[in-house]
Structure 1
């Protein structure tokens, strides 16, 4: 066991962790932040995506001890300060970018990372960026529409508006 201290969603936390404890386990089991999902345990699905020091990370691929001293942001930290949905979350709701919801936290975290890097991505850029996130329900079309809408781009009817 070793002690780790990190800032999670703006709050400093310190806990003892096992040497082989994954960040996803730490977040879910020790901090009870269960929005970060465990999907595949092999870094294939993206359901466990979080931000570590501003970078998109699959939390099943990093040990909690590796995040010692880091700033970690989870889906629970994405809402606006008043608790309302942020622009990405609202776009996912408005454009039906979710179905069962299992992949949604990872998709929202990936979308936030993409929009930070590229504020106005094309449909192709969004689809390329989301390759590490698997959704078994939606077919991705509405997820792409939601991300385009969150970026401030016009999304018309059932089709994505070309620039």
Structure 2
């Protein structure tokens, strides 16, 4: 069994761990760090439930080994809220009924955050394309799209107010 020492930042907290070479990042987050918001669905990178942000890019945590993120910065769904308050994106998912069972929600939230950070004013067709990498069996995506659209509009409106 090959093991590696790791040091990384998850949601702003530094973790130092010794892990097996073959431990998946999704399992490391859930089992070693207790961050169970990262869900494991298909274990093949197809469903998107395990998506986290690594160094500013959304990745499927079931497809990479924990040792591959040594000295990296990770954001999980637990890191989206600030001071115990839901982020605007999370709040809009709640208000717009963008979740039902919630299994896919953490991955969708993180992919959306990453996408909106890079594409602040997307078209709804662009958003649908981004969401095509996620499987949701409950919502029919309507509430998800409304929540994302609301977030984009609020962010744009806040920027206009800040410039005024």
* 1:143 maps onto 2:138 in alignment: no
Which one of 54, 75, 84 corresponds to residue 52 of structure 1? Answer: 54
The answer for unaligned runs of 5 or more in structure 1 is 155-163
The answer for unaligned runs of 5 or more in structure 2 is 156-164
Shift in Å at residue 153 of structure 1?
Answer: 5.6
SS of 1:132's partner is coil
Structure 1 stretches of 4+ with a deviation exceeding 2 A read none
Shift in Å at residue 57 of structure 1?
Answer: 0.4
Please tell me whether the aligned partners of residues 120 and 148 of structure 1 are also in contact (alpha carbons under 8 angstroms): no
**Aligned equivalent of 1:31:** 33
**Aligned equivalent of 2:158:** none
| TM norm structure 1 | 0.91
SS of 2:153's partner is coil
Shift in Å at residue 123 of structure 1?
Answer: 1.2
RMSD, matched Cα: 1.1
**Aligned equivalent of 1:126:** 127
- Number of matched pairs: 153
- Distance between the aligned counterparts of 1:130 and 1:103, measured in 2? 11
Which one of 64, 67, 70 corresponds to residue 66 of structure 2? Answer: 64
* 1:14 maps onto 2:13 in alignment: no
Please tell me whether the aligned partners of residues 95 and 146 of structure 1 are also in contact (alpha carbons under 8 angstroms): yes
More helix as a share of residues: 2
- Distance between the aligned counterparts of 1:122 and 1:143, measured in 2? 14
Shift in Å at residue 146 of structure 1?
Answer: 0.4
**Aligned equivalent of 1:158:** none
